Amino acid sequence: MAIIAIVYLIAVNPLLCLITFIYTPLGMFFTFKINNKIGKIHADNVEIKADSLSIFEQFLSCIPIVKSFMIEKKALLNIQRTQQQLLKSNMKLAKFNSLLQVACGAINSFPRVLYLGFGALLVFNGEITLGLFVAMYDFLGYVIGPSTYLPFMIQKLNRCIASLNRVERLNELSLNSKKQIEEISGQPSVEAKNISFSYDGSKKILDNLSFTFKGNGLYIIKGDSGAGKTTLMDIIAGLYKPDSGKMLICNKDPALNDIGGLVSVIPQDVYIFRGSLAENIHFAKPDMPIEELVKIASSYPFLSFVEDLPEGFDTVVGDGNRAISGGQRQRIAFAQLLLKNSPIWIMDEPIAAIDDETRKLLISLIHSCAQDHLIIFCAHSNIDEKTASQIVCLGEKQNEYH
């Protein structure tokens, strides 16, 4: 209709049509610029929103810790800071949205004003009839309508693109993990080359540590409490970069490369997200339907405790909901590890909180999985060291190998 209307208007009186729409391209240019800015602000806005939500969630799930250490003020300040950032970003977004409304209003009203002014002059001079003048005014609406709404549609599109980009980044993570596994040629390996690490720059937790774990098998990292086992696990997982020396996972530096697809971790303190148990195991393999994962997980004997929960895998756990024990958390972490099935497993005291019977079950599972995975098992004791491919001691006996 817009195209037909504009063709008709040109055919009836080209000069009147030109003057009427003289401002429209300029107005469209302004709205394009404003939309560009809105797109950028919106991209930042979704990031800030995500940050502020996760900080809030973290605060809620750590309320007992926050209370026991009396750090409410600090925690609230942290939340307040992100909320202020969010407010600032929302205000900026609102400002540019209002500006867009004004710009669109101008696209809507300028042509009408110009038409009424110049058209009336033509009628006065007898160049067009009053009837044609009124009829053409009606036609204007067909052209003005779309040119007013187009910028709003572009604005909505920009917002969708910003949100989609975020979703795409999450998808990329799961694609990356497949690519990473395809890329490793030969056996998986974990290599530490003279690594030293200190948290505060003075006390060395790891001092010139070297070892090479090559190929599938069970590799044990031993050491007294405070010897640096968890620190080493965090360096292997790429959470910390050593002060000197090199850590290589399948010949890649974990601090510089994304190795999420190659490595799975059971941390010393297993974290369970607020949500159902099914959702908690789903993030280990997000590309598989949740029902299928639950079916597989139901067959794990070490997850038999889930059957006793009122709603099985649909039981919601986490803050304010049903609490599950430390041992049960570790078992969920085992299920995540098995479902993700990456080539390298890192386990930081994975069976410390588990009863004797389940412990035996999990140890035999670890031994059988060590045939086709590189498993780094970190513990004070409680695993048969004779079956280990290699043992590394930390602390006073560092660099003592077996």
Ligand X SMILES: Nc1ncnc2c1ncn2[C@@H]1O[C@H](COP(=O)(O)OP(=O)(O)OP(=O)(O)O)[C@@H](O)[C@H]1O
- Which of the listed partners (ligand X, Mg ion, none) does 225 bind, with a CB threshold of 5 to 8 Å by partner kind? ligand X
Q: How far is the CB of 219 from ligand X (least distance, A)?
A: 16
Q: How far is the CB of 79 from ligand X (least distance, A)?
A: 22
CB 344 within 8 A of CB 262: yes
Closer Cβ to ligand X, 107 or 190, answer by number: 190
Q: Which residue has the tokens 């949100």?
A: 163
Window contacting Mg ion (CB under 5 A); options: 66-74, 92-100, 224-232, 329-337: 224-232
Q: Find the part of the chain contacting Mg ion (CB under 5 A) among 16-24, 26-34, 178-186, 267-275.
A: 267-275
* Residue 20 engages Mg ion in binding (rule: CB under 5 A): no
Q: Is 330 in the site for Mg ion (CB under 5 A)?
A: no
Which residue in 24, 155, 230, 358 binds Mg ion (CB under 5 A)?
230
CB of 391 to ligand X, least distance (A): 15
* AA identity, residue 328: Q
Least Cβ distance, residue 57 to ligand X (angstroms): 21
- Which of 210, 268, 389, 398 is close enough to bind Mg ion by CB under 5 A? 268
Partner in contact with 199, chosen from Mg ion, ligand X, none, beta carbon below 5 to 8 Å by kind: ligand X
Region binding Mg ion by CB under 5 A among candidate stretches 240-248, 262-270, 303-311, 392-400? 262-270
User: CB under 5 to 8 A by kind: which of ligand X, Mg ion, none does 381 bind?
Assistant: none
Residue in the shown chain whose Cβ atom is closest to Mg ion: 230
Q: Which stretch binds Mg ion (CB under 5 A): 108-116, 175-183, 227-235, 238-246?
A: 227-235
Residue 223 interacting partner from ligand X, Mg ion, none (CB closer than 5 to 8 Å by kind)? ligand X
Neighbours of 17 (CB within 10 A): 22
Choose the binding region for Mg ion from 42-50, 149-157, 222-230, 337-345 (rule: CB under 5 A).
Answer: 222-230
Instruction: Identify which of residues 205 and 236 has a Cβ nearer to ligand X in the complex.
Output: 205
Which CB atom, from 236 or from 297, has the smaller least distance to ligand X? 236
Nearest distance, CB of residue 226 and ligand X, angstroms: 4
In three-state form (DSSP H/G/I as H, E/B as E, the rest C), the secondary structure along the chain is CHHHHHHHHHHHCHHHHHHHCCCHHHHHHHHHHHHHHHHHHHHHHHHHHHHHHHHHHHHHHCHHHHHHCCCHHHHHHHHHHHHHHHHHHHHHHHHHHHHHHHHHHHHHHHHHHHHHHHHHHHHHCCCCCHHHHHHHHHHHHHHHHHHHHHHHHHHHHHHHHHHHHHHHHHHHHHHHHHHHHHHCCCCCEEEEEEEEEECCCCCEEEEEEEEEEECCEEEEEECCCCCCHHHHHHHHCCCCCCCEEEEEECCECCCCCCCCCCEEEECCCCCCCCEEHHHHHHCCCCCCCHHHHHHHHHCCHHHHHHHHCCCHHHCEECCCCECCCHHHHHHHHHHHHHHHCCCEEEEECCCCCCCHHHHHHHHHHHHHHCCCCEEEEECCCCCCHHHCCEEEECHHHCCCEC
Compare residues 111 and 228 and give the one whose CB is closer to ligand X.
Answer: 228
Of residues 231 and 264, the one with the C-beta less far from Mg ion:
231
Question: Which residues are at the interface with ligand X (CB under 6 A)?
Answer: 199, 205, 223, 225-231, 268
Give residues in contact with Mg ion (CB under 5 A).
229-230, 268
